[in-house]
Chain A
């Protein structure tokens, strides 16, 4: 597709379950970001992938959170043993950093609700 695709768009889960969120970036975009947006709050940086470099994981809030990316394609964000405070919209964005535009293209987000 032409844009950043995220799935699922909505996920309701029970506390303690694991969830996996998927992001399919724009083809050719070397940079990929995950952000978290809690209700009424700003974007909280989670993790940044740039090409084949080691990811910047400095924003991951705990060791329950992890993310993988295969090359310059799909990324998955995994949250283990979910807690109610994990409820948020998880946004993925990609960028063609080789052109150094810095412009991020966002997906629609995955809304996670932990009961």
Chain B
């Protein structure tokens, strides 16, 4: 069975700091990987996704993520965060069929 782990429950950063949110998955076969974001008061939306090819994927708003197959990881990064990045971030994995989400990481940015 597939599973997803997000190790950071709550991350607090100052504006312009660099961000890295961890995501590890467990699945024996080919996977599709996603990061979703939920801004306060809004519904979940796709930030970026990996299907195949270049393991470094770029998403909206300057976010990127790197798929490291040997580490079963898909960490989310942003070189310089803004106050508007305050949100909940969810990593997700699709194995054979269904999409499973991690427990989420709440990101708070100090202005």
Q: Which residue of A lies closest to B42 (CB)?
A: A108
In the bound complex, do residue A91 and residue B94 qualify as a contact, i.e. CB atoms below 8 Å apart?
no
In the bound complex, do residue B102 and residue A42 qualify as a contact, i.e. CB atoms below 8 Å apart?
yes
The size bracket of the interface on B is 20 to 34
Contact residues of B between 58 and 100, Cβ < 8 Å to A: 90, 94, 97-100
B108 within 8 A of A: no
Contacts of A71 in B (CB 8 A): none
Contact residues of A between 1 and 57, Cβ < 8 Å to B: 33, 35, 41-43, 45, 48, 50, 56
The size bracket of the interface on A is 20 to 34
For the residues of B in contact with A, the DSSP-based class is: strand
Given A103-B46, A106-B43, A109-B43: A33 and B90 interface contact (C-beta under 8 Å): no
In the bound complex, do residue A102 and residue B34 qualify as a contact, i.e. CB atoms below 8 Å apart?
yes
In the bound complex, do residue B101 and residue A102 qualify as a contact, i.e. CB atoms below 8 Å apart?
no
A60 within 8 A of B: no
Contact residues of A between 60 and 111, Cβ < 8 Å to B: 91, 93, 100-104, 106-109
CB of B73, distance to nearest CB on chain A (Å): 18
The answer, among B44, B94, B102, for a CB contact under 8 Å with A106, is B44
- In the bound complex, how far is the Cα of B90 from the Cα of A106, in angstroms? 13
In the bound complex, do residue B43 and residue A45 qualify as a contact, i.e. CB atoms below 8 Å apart?
no
Most chain A CB within 10 A, of B45, B49, B99, is at B99
Cross-chain pairs A/B with CB under 8 angstroms, 23 sampled: A33-B98, A33-B99, A35-B101, A41-B103, A41-B104, A42-B101, A43-B44, A43-B90, A43-B101, A45-B101, A48-B99, A50-B97, A56-B97, A91-B43, A102-B32, A102-B34, A102-B49, A102-B94, A102-B99, A103-B34, A103-B49, A106-B44, A107-B43
